[in-house]
Chains A and B, each alone.
Chain A
């Protein structure tokens, strides 16, 4: 299936991962983070089709073809 992935406000290679990705059917929200090999030291905010997916729900949240996935780091303002 194809997912429209946006990696927001990160530096280095991770931001370059934004775009349309082919991923296996049944990929979960957490699966996207693993497949993209995002650094694991941080906990990301994640939205699917502009709606938040909370951390405890991400292992069971199965994505669908055409979903828009937005991921950003736990940045704090200042």
Chain B
């Protein structure tokens, strides 16, 4: 029935693990993955706790479609209280780990407590072992960890979700990396994993996943993939990947550049899709080598790149970094490029590789470095602070150095590991952090995308473009018209979709019909469009309840002063700021929240959240 019907609860403090039945009543109300994981977290922890205390829990959750063979059904999520934000955190990843976990017989893993010494979890179907990581993989990179664990257990098919040194040593935006370059990237979920002394989760599954109506499921999942493959959107993502966005945001004037001092980047042509495809003089090859897909994906938007072997960043490092590895996606690309004023695509690809191997969110790392560069240029940070490195915008050398010292937590890297909010507060300029609820912006300046500003401000996990953007409206005009309902609808829709196990990039292609066909063939019972919609809204409000209980208020639903008071210099929004104040009251009202952003009793009752 798509679910395995059981979860694994791991008590790290006592180094024990036990099996529990999946709460199917909750699965009916919250679908799975993001929604269901959040329900478990809300029921099991006090939202006020320190996210890095043993009282926090870390949940690895699949959706009902994960591992089934549903079109793009390879997604899984990490749910916890975020180390970067102190808010609800749910980070979604692809690759093959989620499908492997489900195939091993587990819908979810809940980690509790803190291991007395570094450990890793090794799962072979029903066999679960908590093994010593100290003196073995602790202190090693994600990539080394993957190789070492597969070698020790003589199984190259093991799938791992790991942290590198950044996660071990408390970089606030550490992520959980699986399959070398896929990541549950945002909000510091890897930092929480490190605080629990948990290095990696290694899984090998051979049990398979059954569905409610196998014959029908095969037909509807094949039909969904065929429908998806025929769309221009899927073809474009396969051919050019998410980096296609670089030219779009630069054209529109919403490309965050030099810590959002600018909205268009004069060097974009050196760090866009065309630059990835350009043949290099040095070796006659291009940066982009090929593309790749996740489990059950027919889009294959992932980029695989080879860094120029003569580039200063890697030429003296032997064979390391000279092979094909995960390349630049747009969100890493904008942060490691324009946000820092850097137009060296090889340097950005190298920095991306370091983010992967050390388990750092490239968005938050790049955006923190961009903030540090502005602090440096106004004199708040000096070479005395950095140990000699000049952090000028545009310096590819500074970018590569910063990724190295932050990933390994050396010297000034400890400062950069704080994230932009704490860094800017520490150096006396909190207004220079381009973040909401402590989490750095994604690759869209909200002055030229008014709805994106409303989304950043109200996103439950802090600034994020994946929580429900009004893409169509925001690329139609620079106004607030229709943004509040569009953002609300998109947020509820994404909360629902992130709970299914499918990839958001399939959503437009297969549509609600394709999703419903697969859910209904895979699961007992009946899902319909109305139920999906109300479930998404329920999940969004549950996350909001978590944040309110954690102590966040409507005062946290805001944007940096720069977005509200400093007009964009160029582009579609030249002369304009984000008009959040015009949108937020309408948004609260549409949500059925008070003017202080609190769900009313009537809203909670309607959503069965009372």
A positions within 8 Å CB-CB of B: 6, 8-12, 39, 41-43, 45, 47, 50-52, 54-55, 70, 72-78
Q: Does any Cβ of A come within 8 Å of B240's Cβ?
A: yes
Q: Are A77 and B444 in contact (CB under 8 A)?
A: yes
* Distance of A52 Cα from B574 Cα, bound (Å): 11
Query: Which residue in B251, B329, B444 is a CB contact (below 8 Å) of A6?
Result: B251
| Interface pick from B401-409, B472-480, B601-609 | B472-480
How far does the alpha carbon of A39 sit from the alpha carbon of B236 in the complex, in Å? 13
Chain A residues near B330: list those with CB within 8 A. Answer: 77-78
User: Contact at B232–A76, with CB atoms within 8 Å?
Assistant: no
* Cα distance, A73 to B331, chains bound together (Å): 18
Instruction: Output the least CB separation between A51 and chain B (Å).
Output: 6
Q: How far is the CA of A10 from the CA of B571 in the complex (A)?
A: 21
B466, CB-defined interface residue at 8 Å: yes
Which residues of chain A are within 8 angstroms of B233 by Cβ–Cβ distance?
42, 73, 75
CB distance from B486 to the nearest CB of A (A): 13
Q: Give CA–CA (A54, B475) in the complex, Å.
A: 9
In the complex, chain B residues whose CB is within 8 Å of the CB of A42: 232-233
In the complex, chain B residues whose CB is within 8 Å of the CB of A9: 236, 240, 244-248, 273
Which of A39, A47, A70, A78 touches B504 (beta carbons < 8 Å)? A78
Q: Is the CB of B247 within 8 A of A11?
A: no
B 261-282 contacts with A by CB, 8 A? 273
Within 8 A of A (CB), among B228-259: 231-233, 235-236, 239-240, 242, 244-248, 251-253
Tell me whether B248 and A8 are in contact (CB under 8 A). yes
Report how far A42 CA is from B469 CA in the complex, Å: 18
A47 to B504, CA, bound (A): 27
Complex Cα gap A10–B475 (Å)? 16
**Bound state CA distance, A25 and B251, in angstroms?**
26
**Chain A residue nearest in CB terms to B505:** A78
In this complex, what residue of A is CB-closest to B334? A77
Closest CB in chain B relative to A75 CB, distance in Å = 6
- Nearest CB of chain A from residue B99's CB, rounded to whole Å: 19
Closest 7 CB pairs of A and B: A9-B244, A45-B475, A11-B239, A8-B247, A76-B471, A54-B477, A9-B247
Residues of B within 8 A of A (CB): 231-233, 235-236, 239-240, 242, 244-248, 251-253, 273, 301, 329-331, 442-444, 465-466, 469, 471-472, 475-478, 504-505, 508, 570-572
B235 touches A11 (CB 8 A): yes
Which residue in chain B gives the minimum CB-CB distance to A44?
B475
Contact at A72–B248, with CB atoms within 8 Å?
yes
User: Closest CB-CB distance, B366 to chain A, in whole Å?
Assistant: 15
Contacts of B469 in A (CB 8 A): 76-77
Contact of B331 with A50 in the complex, beta carbons under 8 Å: no
Nearest-neighbour CB distance to chain A for B186, whole angstroms, equals 12
Q: For residue B451, give the distance in angstroms from its CB to the closest CB of chain A.
A: 12
Q: Name the distance in Å between B221's Cβ and chain A's nearest Cβ.
A: 22
Cβ–Cβ < 8 Å partners of A55 in chain B? 476
Q: Given A55-B476, A74-B475, A78-B466, are A50 and B236 neighbors across the interface (CB < 8 Å)? A: no
- 20 inter-chain pairs at a CB distance below 8 angstroms, sorted by A residue, are A8-B248, A8-B251, A9-B240, A39-B232, A42-B232, A43-B472, A45-B476, A47-B252, A47-B572, A50-B251, A50-B253, A72-B475, A73-B233, A75-B244, A76-B471, A76-B508, A77-B330, A78-B329, A78-B331, A78-B504
Identity of the chain A residue whose Cβ is nearest the Cβ of B473 in the assembled complex: A54
Residues of A within 8 A of B472 (CB): 43, 74
Q: Considering the chains assembled together, what is the distance between the CA atoms of A55 and B473 in angstroms?
A: 10
| Cβ contact of B236, chosen from A45, A75, A78, cutoff 8 A | A75
Q: Do B245 and A75 touch (CB < 8 A)?
A: yes
The CA-CA distance from A8 to B248 in the complex, in Å, is 6
Whole-angstrom distance between the alpha carbons of A5 and B516 in the complex? 41
Distance between Cα atoms of A41 and B508 in the complex (Å): 12
Q: A77 contacts which of B236, B245, B251 (Cβ < 8 Å)?
A: B245
Q: Do A78 and B476 touch (CB < 8 A)?
A: no
> Is A11's CB under 8 angstroms from B240's CB?
yes
Complex: A41 Cα to B242 Cα, angstroms: 20
B236-A70 in contact (CB<8A): no
**With a CB–CB cut-off of 8 A, which chain B residues contact A50?**
251, 253, 570-572
- Determine whether the beta carbon of A52 is less than 8 Å from that of B572: yes
